[in-house]
Amino acid sequence: MKTDARVRYTKKVIRESFLGLLEAKPIMGISVKEICELAQINRATFYSHYRSPYDLLERIENELFEDLSSEVIAKYENDIDTIVKKAFEIIGKNYDLCRVLFSENGDKQFLNRAMSVSRKATIALWQAKYPDASKQQIEFLFAFVLHGAVAVIEQWVRIGMKETPFELGVIADKVSQIWLRKKK
């Protein structure tokens, strides 16, 4: 049991040190040596858990991605509004992490990948809801909504998440309702 606690602590310190560095500079400028110095561990300890800073970033992103996909998409795959609101909740709970991941130094594709998890379910729902729309129109609609949602999330995180996840969900819902009314 002690080993598990030490490993969890070590990974936490490595992760926090890495995210602190990532907040200040892009990943290509972060070395294992810097992470180890900040975390006060030796290189062998780092390498016993991760192959490189890129591997560490990928694992951090995958944890958040798993949260989004297993906790949100799997449970609410037929309810796009709930998916969006629950995604906002998870991002809100992980503010410090998301602030760094969505920053200039973070992985620009991560948020797109995370938000597109619901692609298949969303497109199927919209095809049923808008039977007169072509497959291409539905694809364009998804791209439009996806990139709009990504921009809203990035802005929300950038300004310090002043709105609650619920409030942001309501805003997103109102914006989509305005857009859909204009399309009728």
167, 144 in Cβ contact below 8 A? no
pLDDT classification of 183: cutoffs 50, 70, 90: low
Whether 73 shows a pLDDT value over 80: the answer reads no
Residues 6+ apart with CB under 8 A from 122: 80, 142, 145
Same domain for 80 and 109, yes or no, is yes
Q: Look at residue 50 in the predicted model and tell me its pLDDT.
A: 97
Q: Look at residue 180 in the predicted model and tell me its pLDDT.
A: 56
Domain with residue 9: its CATH number is 1.10.10.60
Count of the separate structural domains present in the chain: 2
Q: Look at residue 2 in the predicted model and tell me its pLDDT.
A: 56
Same domain for 32 and 82, yes or no, is no
Domain that includes residue 21, residue range? 1-50
Q: How far is CA 98 from CA 7, 77, 138, in A?
A: 23, 23, 29
Token readout for 79 is 């309810």
Same domain for 171 and 95, yes or no, is yes
Convert the pLDDT of each residue in 93-139 to its tens digit: 888 888 888 888 887 778 777 777 777 777 888 788 888 888 888 88
| Per-chain mean pLDDT for the chain | 83
**Triad 1, 48, 12: Cα angle to 5°:** 60
pLDDT classification of 74: cutoffs 50, 70, 90: low
Residue 177 or residue 25, greater confidence: 25
Same domain for 82 and 147, yes or no, is yes
Token readout for 120 is 């298949």
Q: Look at residue 90 in the predicted model and tell me its pLDDT.
A: 84
Q: Look at residue 48 in the predicted model and tell me its pLDDT.
A: 96
Same domain for 45 and 77, yes or no, is no
pLDDT average, residue stretch 34-62? 95
How far is Cα 136 from Cα 1, in angstroms, rounded to an integer? 54
Same domain for 23 and 91, yes or no, is no
Convert the pLDDT of each residue in 14-29 to its tens digit: 999 999 999 999 999 9
